[in-house]
Structure 1
Amino acid sequence: MSEWGDGTRVVHSTPAVPGEPFLAGPVFAGPYHLGGGDVYGRSHNPTWRALEAALGGLDGGTTVLFPSGMAAISTFLRVVLRPGDTVVLPSDGYFLVRELIKGRPVRVVEAPTAGPYPSFEGVRLVLLETPSNPGLDVCDIAVLADAAHAAGALLAVDNTTATPLGQRPLELGADAVLSSDTKAVAGHSDVVLGHVSTSDPGLAELLLAERTVSGVIPGPFEVWLAHRGLGTLDLRLARQAENAAALYDVLRTHPAVSGLRWPGAPEDPAHAVAARQMRRFGGVLTFELAGVDAVEAFLSRSRLVAASTSFGGLHTSLDRRAQWGDPVPPGLARLSAGCEDTADLVADVLGAL
């Protein structure tokens, strides 16, 4: 499958079998008749395996599914960390991850995504999020992976913003890639799901065992919906990036907008690194309006931009991140460009501004 383009890979993520459907329906079994390969629904499900194989092929490793992105990262942390370990994590990444790790008996060292980074000596895990959420800063995965491995540390990358088509951290040296598939992978704002992929068979086995023992398992129907949505990921990302580029062009000089960020723009501070390691730039932009009232006024005037705290879906959405606890200015907005017609979306945004 590696010789195919992205569109072909996601459409044909499940091999064709004569007489079988393109994508088999979800399997809801609890117990199975013993004597075959599957035993019990907490440990085995063919619907999981189908999507895990598809995502593993895109990420370049072995994938383990979880019922949410936070379930994926919390399980990963339980598997790789022990009391007293040191973790380096992004100070500008998803705020709940910082809250999650700070509740554990480990030493936390924070660093901004764009650096500078501390020494990794004595560190057990380096966790990156690139592009960061919500600031959209970027770090050099390959350079940091080399530094982490030289110090004996693991390196994991939250790849939610980039997606498996936009960036392949395992190929750049990461030990694991984490994703909230609630966002672009499923893509239709109707699923909560997550996954971890790794090129280390031993780590994959530990994750599978922990999922089985803890019971942190995804629902078969949600997994099937995400797999169904995966087939249009290439098309959706292309339109979202087209819309993001068009919005960047009109927002960069707009008097009501400041602090505009999108790694796909040559003018963006992160573009040089992003262009080296990302295969596409996605549809998420970040910018500031004058404050809370300005954001609310924008949303009230817009006909196409929804107030929503997720991103990566078909609908263009905007989230004022300070309301959730991110340490950002009150008027900072993360805009996720959807799949609307570009001209319609640009006209709507300009009108709302």
Structure 2
Amino acid sequence: MHGGLADAQPGTPLLASPVFATGFHAGHPSYGYGRADNPTYRALESAIGALDGGECVVFGSGMAAISAVLGLASGKVVLPSDGYYLTRTLAADLPVTVVEVPTTGPWPSFEGVDLVLLETPSNPGLDVCDITALVSAAHTAGALVAVDNTTATPIGQRPLELGADIVVSSDSKALAGHSDVLLGHVTCRSVDLAARIRHTRTVHGGIPGPFETWLAHRGLATLDLRLARQAQNASALHSALRGHPLVSNLRWPGAAQDPSHTVASQQMRRFNGVFTFTLASRATAEKFIAASKLVTAATSFGGVHSTADRRAQWGDPVPEGFLRFSAGCEDTDDLVADVLSALATFNADE
């Protein structure tokens, strides 16, 4: 909550205003030209770096961040076949050999691999892999390990503590948390590796806007509170939907019955509000969202408002009625009642 804030001074704001500057007066060791660095970037980087446990570099989007990470590889990259689909699209366009593996494995030998990218819990399927075990195998083979921590967030999981070299995240989701920012970050265990990532940001221009950076820093103060309510709502909805005749393939790693729970509970510090389930068809999924008064159709997740996304429309290999549900911060009883009411408008065979 206090990460990245300057020491308190009477008469100054609790969170300093964003710095809008292209150029700075010469002579400062860090701030010369706005694309390379900015005090507003550094404040947020300090806060996120403290949560992740490393050196943070913020980017203009999650894809800009993942692009910088993939750029570290020149030969072979191993990445999840069931993770965020645009990561696979991006990797396919790069001059590297790509090996795709399901999050739950089996994982291949990492001999000759430059970079292993994990995404756990995976998006959208919420499968989980053992970070510590895979880091050990990858490091033995000389490969770097990066973990896409978007779904878990820095206070839900700390991959650097589990041995990973790099954490990457889309902070447009839960970290900023209000569905009003595009942002991403990379945090590295090694200061030298972080310097390479920062150089990539400067040269390729994947910088965030100062105002967006400031908004994310503001939102970070409530991350703990938001995740607590979102997890509470996800737990209540999971309990309400479990065994429901219209619902199949209900998944939430926070539930003891979930196939991911055992590994997730060993490496995650807390769970969040993202869960998934499948309805009978595309039409049923769309009618369910339309019938709800509190759930909005949206492709992002992690915000304060509950959303549902039919992931097949984006090309994910999931059933047409598959929904990724992001529980927001609404009153728990109100949200459960709304979801059940929306489902009650259907017959079991729809």
TM bucket, shorter chain: over 0.9
Runs of 4 or more, structure 1, over 6 Å off, are none
* TM-score normalised per structure 1: 0.95
- Deviations 1:171-192 (Å, cap 9, x if unpaired)? 0000000000000000000000
d(CA) in 2 for partners of 1:268, 1:92: 18
d(CA) in 2 for partners of 1:11, 1:234: 12
Determine whether 1:75 maps to 2:62.
Answer: no
Match of 2:194 in 1: 204
* TM-score normalised per structure 2: 0.96
Equivalent residue runs for 1:277-296 within 5 Å: 277-296=267-286
Aligned with 1:57 (options 40, 46, 50): 50
Tell me the amino acid that sits aligned with residue 301 of structure 1. A
Pairwise CA RMSD? 0.9
Once the two structures are TM-superposed, the CA of residue 17 in structure 1 deviates from its matched residue by 2.5
Determine whether 1:146 maps to 2:119.
Answer: no
Which has the larger displacement, 15-24 or 148-157? 15-24
Aligned with 2:28 (options 31, 36, 40): 36
Match of 1:321 in 2: 311
Match of 1:109 in 2: 99
More helix by share: 1
d(CA) in 2 for partners of 1:270, 1:177: 21
Tell me the amino acid that sits aligned with residue 140 of structure 1. D
Equivalent residue runs for 1:171-320 within 5 Å: 171-320=161-310
d(CA) in 2 for partners of 1:286, 1:259: 8
d(CA) in 1 for partners of 2:292, 2:2: 34
d(CA) in 2 for partners of 1:301, 1:208: 46
d(CA) in 2 for partners of 1:105, 1:12: 38
Does the CA contact (< 8 Å) of 1:16 and 1:22 recur in 2? no
d(CA) in 2 for partners of 1:295, 1:340: 21
Q: Please, which runs of 5 or more residues in structure 1 have no aligned partner?
A: 1-9
Does the CA contact (< 8 Å) of 1:136 and 1:262 recur in 2? yes
Once the two structures are TM-superposed, the CA of residue 76 in structure 1 deviates from its matched residue by 1.7
Tell me the amino acid that sits aligned with residue 224 of structure 1. W
Which has the larger displacement, 309-318 or 104-113? 104-113
Does the CA contact (< 8 Å) of 2:3 and 2:50 recur in 1? no
Once the two structures are TM-superposed, the CA of residue 12 in structure 1 deviates from its matched residue by 4.8
- Deviations 1:201-227 (Å, cap 9, x if unpaired)? 111111111111222111000000000
- Deviations 1:156-176 (Å, cap 9, x if unpaired)? 000000000000000000000
d(CA) in 2 for partners of 1:299, 1:283: 17
Does the CA contact (< 8 Å) of 1:187 and 1:312 recur in 2? yes
Once the two structures are TM-superposed, the CA of residue 36 in structure 1 deviates from its matched residue by 2.3
Once the two structures are TM-superposed, the CA of residue 18 in structure 1 deviates from its matched residue by 1.9
Aligned with 1:18 (options 1, 9, 16): 9
Does the CA contact (< 8 Å) of 2:307 and 2:327 recur in 1? yes
Tell me the amino acid that sits aligned with residue 64 of structure 2. A
SS of corresponding position for 2:155: helix
d(CA) in 1 for partners of 2:148, 2:139: 18
Does the CA contact (< 8 Å) of 1:132 and 1:161 recur in 2? yes
Tell me the amino acid that sits aligned with residue 70 of structure 2. L
Q: Please, which runs of 5 or more residues in structure 2 have no aligned partner?
A: 344-350
SS of corresponding position for 2:236: helix
Does the CA contact (< 8 Å) of 1:162 and 1:281 recur in 2? yes
Match of 2:346 in 1: none
Which has the larger displacement, 34-43 or 337-346? 34-43
Does the CA contact (< 8 Å) of 1:11 and 1:232 recur in 2? no
Tell me the amino acid that sits aligned with residue 69 of structure 1. G
SS of corresponding position for 1:89: strand
Determine whether 1:156 maps to 2:129.
Answer: no
Once the two structures are TM-superposed, the CA of residue 13 in structure 1 deviates from its matched residue by 4.5
Once the two structures are TM-superposed, the CA of residue 16 in structure 1 deviates from its matched residue by 2.8
d(CA) in 1 for partners of 2:177, 2:122: 19
Q: Quick one: structure 1 residues 102 and 162, their matched pair in 2 at CA, closer, same or farther if it must change by over 3 Å?
A: same
d(CA) in 1 for partners of 2:37, 2:103: 37
Once the two structures are TM-superposed, the CA of residue 122 in structure 1 deviates from its matched residue by 1.0
Tell me the amino acid that sits aligned with residue 55 of structure 2. T
Which has the larger displacement, 109-118 or 61-70? 109-118
d(CA) in 2 for partners of 1:328, 1:68: 25
Tell me the amino acid that sits aligned with residue 148 of structure 2. D
d(CA) in 2 for partners of 1:130, 1:305: 25
